[in-house]
Amino acid sequence: MMQSVRTFLDLIRVEHTVFALPFAYVGMFLGAGGAPSAAQLLWVTVAMVAARSAGMSLNRLIDREIDARNPRTAARPLQSGRISARSTAFGAVLALLALGFAAWQLNAVVFALWPGALAFLVGYPYTKRFTWLSHFILGFTDGLAPMGAWVAVTGSFWLRSDLPAWLLLGALTVWIGGFDLIYACQDVDVDREQGLHSFPARFGIAAALQLARGCHVVTLALLAGVGAWFGLGWPFWFGLLLTASLFIWEHALVRPDDLSRVDIAFFNMNGYISLTVFASVLAGLWLA
């Protein structure tokens, strides 16, 4: 049993929850105006981990035949037989139920939005079969994390005062979409052979890297808008400059003719960026 659990966690790359979880905390702390309750912190964390676990396991399950034909992904646990499709599906269902239970524990609005989140978690893996906009659909799906956390503490998303939540949704959409563009550059030939849709496969690697840079400039602008809305203190703006430096470093690691450091750019740098944004928002709130 423990080996199966470890294999499942390896399958979903649970350690990469660090990408979006800090942004969920950003939405929660900003929505609470400083600090959420212990219960809100607990259930937002459960919801976020469950949502990502469901999304990753569904992605692996739905794409298992595609991944088996890709040399880069052919050795993953599902393709190598270390975990079965049935066990992966079971894990995904448990995660979706945990997400629904956490949403119910938070408030009625969050629970009412749960089916919408489920639709994106299930639907995203199919989008690469018909549109190169799949990178941004993934980004929007992850962007629901700060929006959902905001709603968890405010109970709304439709008021003028909820504008920062939409800015965070936009920031995460283009941030995740941008670094997924970089990651997809590895699979251009395979995507073309299999008839899959990605921006790099359609327009080329150079164009994808250029668009990714533009996405991350927009990310910084949207985060600056959040800081200005709340009048966050100087630590936030210092953190935003540091975030910009990390983006520059990330893009310096990859070139159209050299993708050997994509994993460093994708996994390491984006983890640093996410944690830097979270820390700078907290410091900007508490030291303003």
| Complete domains list, the chain, with CATH | 161-288 (1.20.120.1780)
**pLDDT of 2:** 60
Query: Which DSSP string corresponds to 176-215?
Result: HHHHHHHHHGGGHHHHHHHT---HHHHH-HHHHHHHHHHH
pLDDT in tens, 207-227: 999 999 999 999 999 999 999
Q: What is the mean pLDDT of the chain?
A: 91
Torsion angle, alpha carbons of 137, 138, 140, 144, to 10: 140
* Tokens at 260, concatenated: 């050997």
CA distance 122 to 254: 31
pTM of the predicted protein model = 0.94
**78-136: pLDDT as tens digits:** 888 888 899 889 989 999 999 999 999 999 999 999 999 999 999 999 999 999 999 99
Write down the residue that tokens 């703006």 correspond to: 237
pLDDT given at position 12: 57
Q: Please give the structure tokens belonging to residue 230.
A: 């709340």
Asked if pLDDT for residue 13 goes beyond 70, the answer is no
Supply the DSSP symbol for 158: S
What's the mean pLDDT in 4-22?
66
What number of CA atoms fall less than 13 Å from residue 251's CA on the CB side? 20
